[in-house]
Amino acid sequence: MHNHASREVGKRRRCLVLGGRGFIGSHLIRALLAQGFLVRCFDRPQLGVRVGSEFKHPNLERCDGDFVNPLDVSHALEGVDICFHLVSTTLPKSSNADPVFDVETNLLGTVRLLTQAVEFGVGKVIFVSSGGTVYGVPRAVPLAETHPTEPVCSYGISKLAIEKYLALFHQQHGLDYAVLRLANPFGEGQRADSGQGAVAVFLGRILKGETLEVWGDGSVIRDYVYIEDVVNALLLSIDCKDDERVFNIGSGRGHSLNEVLDVLERTVGQRAIRRYRPARSFDVPASVLSIESARRSLGWSPKVGFDEGVERFAAWMKRELAEQSLLAVGGCSG
């Protein structure tokens, strides 16, 4: 191990971000570049048509490919010190419809990745897991990392299996790793039309004056964490040498869907047109993560409160919508 560490002295470390053009990935890349890392962004070529300024940075390499193609992944891993694994090919709500696809793409893809990471001498793999799905139905809130894991969707089972394989590869091959079980991240860059993230979806609907659907009576409680806080946790996990390797990353408090809507209405100054629908079988009544482990081992705690995060996100989304309508107006000329 020691010669690997000495090799890194005076050498800039290279981070690979799998899923680098996604919501979390693009924020992470910006932060890594700001900290002076060399960064390689891996994503599918058709993703991320709108290219941000960070993608023209001299320390950034773009590497197009498909996560389920071992050749693409091996190209991406060459010369990498730290690998951030943010790729997911499925969504929690749709994963049960095709568990075979979920396992073949997410789980097998990741086990292959870990095998190759060992071959290429990658120093550490940092995996984004799911604080909302790996525990299943909470027995007590807030949920600590030691809470039983009984996922009720294939997505959660795959995430959990990946966590177990990371532990296995660490034990067998000394591959260092960290797992961040995220609550519901939200913030600038999250798309209102992707169907993921209640804050983004609701905010988009309110700003466009569209009807939004609430499953159940709106009393379902979730933990929402601002994107900047998520990225800080990812950065702190790079050099964490603690024996703890699995961390909940959330805000430490919950908001019901009705509360979320109230905050959004106040922030935007517009009423939401709410349609309440029957509750869904897989929505647990309350899910809030305990973040004591991350405080203790990573020295991390969330800095941006829900209301402030929503204000920043709303300001960004208003600008986006204004730009889109300008483009639509100017789009006909020639």
- Chain segment 5-26, per-residue pLDDT in tens: 444 456 899 999 999 999 999 9
pLDDT of res. 334: 43
Residue identified by tokens 């909470």 is: 138
Identify the burial level of 198 via C-beta atoms within 10 angstroms of its C-beta, where 0-12 means exposed, 13-18 middle and 19 or more buried: buried
Query: 328: pLDDT confidence band, cut at 50, 70 and 90?
Result: confident
Q: Which residues are designated catalytic?
A: 155
In the CATH scheme, what is the code of domain 10-190+226-251? 3.40.50.720
Q: Is pLDDT above 80 for 47?
A: no
pLDDT of res. 195: 73
* pTM of this structure: 0.93
Bridge partners, residue 213, by sequence: 275
The H or E element containing residue 273 is strand 273-277
- Chain segment 195-207, per-residue pLDDT in tens: 779 999 999 999 9
Q: Is the peptide bond before 142 cis (omega within 30 degrees of 0)?
A: yes
The H or E element containing residue 249 is strand 246-249
Quote the CA–CA distance of 29 and 208 in Å, as a whole number. 30
- Chain segment 144-165, per-residue pLDDT in tens: 999 999 999 999 999 999 999 9
Where do the structural domains in the chain lie, given as residue ranges?
10-190+226-251
Q: Tell me if 143 sits within 8 A of 289, measured CB to CB.
A: yes
Helix, strand, coil shares of the chain, percent, nearest 5, are: 40, 20, 40
- Pick from 310, 129, 130: nearest CA to 204: 310
* Triad 231, 76, 190: Cα angle to 5°: 35
